[in-house]
Amino acid sequence: MAIDMSQFHQVFFDEADEHLSSMESLLLGMDQSCPQQEDLHAVFRAAHSIKGGAATFGFADMADLTHVLEGLLDEVRRGARALSSDLVDLVLRAKDVLYGMLAAHKGKGEADAAQAGELKAQLEALAAAPAEAAARRAAPEEARHWTLYLEIDVVDGVDIDALLESLAEHGDLSVVQRGEEADKLPWVAVFTSQLDAAEVAESLAFALPQERFRINVDHGVEEEGSFGLFLEAEPEPDASVWLEGDGFGLFEPPPAEAAKRDEALSPAQESDAAKPAARGGALSESSIRVNIDKVDLLLNLVGELVITQSMLTQSGAGLDPVEHERLLGGIGALQRNARELQEAVMSIRMTPIAFVFNRFPRVVRDLAGRLGKRVELTMMGESTELDKGFIEKLSDPLTHLVRNSLDHGIESPEARQAGGKDPVGRLTLRAFHQGSNIVIEVSDDGAGLNRERILAKARQGGLAAPDSLSDAEVWNLIFEAGFSTAAEVTEVSGRGVGMDVVKRNIQSMGGRVEIDSMADIGTTISIHLPLTLAIMDGMSVRIGAETYVMPLGAVLESLQPAPDDIKTVAARGMVVGIRGEYLPIVPLGRFFSIPEAKQAPSEAILVIVEAGNSRLALLVDDLIGQQQFVVKNLETNYRKVDGISGATILGDGQVALILDIAAIARHNQRMALDA
């Protein structure tokens, strides 16, 4: 019975995505004048794996394009063709076209056949042109061949003959034994090629389960009853390679052979020889692919468990600790275990921000080339982990900030030289932890924001912009809709255009944006995000008969003010004096139209909160306490409510709304400006 290969399509899609990303990052990080041999091999293997998988699953358009691309990359890695800027550009364009084809096969749009045909013709023209040999390669290296011993089990629905024929295109392949299902005999073949064992294994893995084939390399030590397989050129490292069920591994060579190699290797060669072994060890790490919907379901169930545990804790609070010692001890253990389980599940959703950062070397390279600028990109903190939900939403805001820094932040090489700067601009992406938040910075060493130009533009647009505004307040003006200080419109929006969208997107994730800029020094835009939106630490407060929750990260302090600390400012309402600073008071009972809520600050409690660069005092009736809350999306289940970011379920089963501190602060600022 034939196997339905469509069930493996998602595996191919995921691996092809990874291979395309790997190709791009390797090419952008290469020194074109002297690329590392291992990097060239890795780029070739990525193209080869995509071609093999595409051919196996019947995606002929991808297989045809990668076949031509693979040939060019093979010439480069063998030293028969130099790695030129034009070739890199073509390979990067091929990556984009292949990504479009991949999306089309996923059912997301249609591939551009005309663009693919034009690119394939350009690749074929380059392949037909006389290749300029790369002098950096030695002749013995160019002539390296591997002789591999393949053993493949018979698998229902898989045409082993066709599989071996595709391998034979890359070398000399001889079938020693044809597999027979009846006698449980495997296919056995000897394959001599420039492909190494890892490359062959990657090709076979698309069509065969990993446990159904084995690849071996003999080191010239023949044993009775074994096939006499030799390496025509000694590989690095000197080890046999095979495929296990959980990935690639390395056999140590026989002791005698290992001793000979160690004696022959210089210290530098020892270092180089150790690198592939380390890579092989990393490949053997076990991992599985899990649909994100399953992780979200698990997270929701953990959230429900946290709610149940909170209910039990609240119910047990009134019990006699002596009489119900075992019950209360069990509730305490449940609380600890629930928190540990929650942290473990949350860690599954955490993804390195490198998944976002890795797309920017290409963005910077392409845009800087179009603008005629020279820019060096530095990325720091790529291993910083962030909730996957944020990773998916961060791409557009960060892309906008990077494009604006390149277009209107960093000057042209001529302008930088005239100002005494290095003609090469510096752009830095940095991510790091700060308390319970993640901070992502986009910094450039360009001209910086122009205070006078921003003020003039704001007044022209009818905004209140007195000269007494601080620098931070002036920078925040660029977040107004439609605001731009660009002297002319370009294909890349001017600094400020669309910044309102950036801020709105970040605030929708519970974060905030800050700007720091100095003339002729540069600009740094910082995005502050919570670690996750699924579960949060909060403080529950009472307003009238209602209970609300404040995100604990926004709370600075709480106090009951003395009557003398309260002042009334014309057209601004009440303010409270705290250590020489007057903060506006926002009575939440009036904000949410709760008639029985307290209105007099001296009879209530003020909670001092911070939103962006501003602070304000929220007037509440009472403080209930702080704990962890499971966040439920209010818009999905009801609608958007001004001043509310979500909802949660309390320990007694009641629903409490979570305050959107930033929205309340913005509303208060608008009211002050209108007054």
**Residue 498, pLDDT score:** 65
Burial class (CB in 10 A: 0-12, 13-18, 19+), 593: exposed
Distances (CA, A) of 236 to 191, 197, 483: 18, 12, 59
pLDDT in tens, 480-536: 766 665 555 455 554 444 687 888 888 778 788 889 999 889 999 999 887 766 677
d(CA 216, CA 148): 6
Q: Amino acid identity of 633?
A: N
pLDDT in tens, 264-296: 443 434 434 333 333 333 333 456 767 778 887
Residue 262 pLDDT > 70: no
Residues 28 and 90 in one domain: yes
User: Mean pLDDT over residues 642-669, rounded?
Assistant: 83
Residue 607 pLDDT > 90: yes
Spacing of C-alpha 307 from chain mean position: 31
Total structural domains within the chain: 5
What are the residues whose beta carbons fall under 8 Å from the beta carbon of 233, sequence distance 6 or more?
140, 143, 144, 145, 146
Residues 379 and 230 in one domain: no
Residues 345 and 360 in one domain: no
Higher pLDDT, residue 611 or 65: 65
Percentage with pLDDT > 70 across the chain: 81
Residues 396 and 524 in one domain: yes
Residue 606 pLDDT > 90: yes
Region of 513 on the Ramachandran plot (φ > 0 left; ψ -120 to 50 alpha; else beta): beta
Domain boundary among 116, 137, 158: 137
- The mean predicted confidence, pLDDT, of the chain is 78
- The lowest-confidence range among 5-14, 137-146, 582-591, 610-619 is 137-146
d(CA 490, CA 243): 53
Measured from the Cβ of residue 643, the count of other Cβ atoms closer than 10 Å reads 19
Residues 544 and 654 in one domain: yes
Distances (CA, A) of 315 to 310, 311, 631: 9, 6, 22
What are the residues whose beta carbons fall under 8 Å from the beta carbon of 355, sequence distance 6 or more?
391
Q: What is the CATH number of the domain that holds 23?
A: 1.20.120.160
Listing DSSP states for 21-79 in one string gives HHHHHHHHHS-TTS--HHHHHHHHHHHHHHHHHHHHTT-HHHHHHHHHHHHHHHHHHHT
Q: Choose among 192, 164, 198: nearest CA to 178.
A: 164
Residues 396 and 331 in one domain: no
Could you tell me the two tokens for 334?
Answer: 């449940």
d(CA 297, CA 388): 14
Residues 239 and 206 in one domain: yes
Q: What is the CATH number of the domain that holds 625?
A: 2.40.50.180
Q: Choose among 151, 169, 152, 192: nearest CA to 55.
A: 169
Q: Amino acid identity of 215?
A: I
- Eight-class DSSP state of 461: T
Residues 24 and 122 in one domain: yes
User: Mean pLDDT over residues 215-235, rounded?
Assistant: 43
Q: Choose among 415, 401, 360: nearest CA to 494.
A: 401
Residues 445 and 513 in one domain: yes
Q: Choose among 577, 576, 416: nearest CA to 587.
A: 576
Residues 357 and 312 in one domain: no
Domain boundary among 482, 501, 530: 530
Listing DSSP states for 159-178 in one string gives -HHHHHHHHHTTEEEEEEE-
**Residue 494, pLDDT score:** 46
pLDDT in tens, 351-410: 888 888 888 888 898 888 888 899 999 999 988 888 887 887 888 889 889 988 898 889
* H or E stretch covering 579: none
pLDDT in tens, 557-566: 999 988 888 8
Domain boundary among 98, 115, 137: 137
Q: What is the CATH number of the domain that holds 421?
A: 3.30.565.10
Higher pLDDT, residue 390 or 98: 98
Could you tell me the two tokens for 501?
Answer: 């969208």
Higher pLDDT, residue 598 or 79: 598
pLDDT in tens, 580-594: 888 999 999 999 999
Q: Which domain holds residue 468?
A: 353-530
d(CA 670, CA 675): 8
Cite the beta strand spans of 304-459 per DSSP E.
350-352, 374-380, 385-387, 424-434, 437-444
Residue 553 pLDDT > 70: yes
pTM of the model: 0.58
User: Mean pLDDT over residues 596-603, rounded?
Assistant: 87
Residues 238 and 127 in one domain: no
Q: Choose among 167, 227, 162, 230: nearest CA to 195.
A: 167
Residues 22 and 127 in one domain: yes
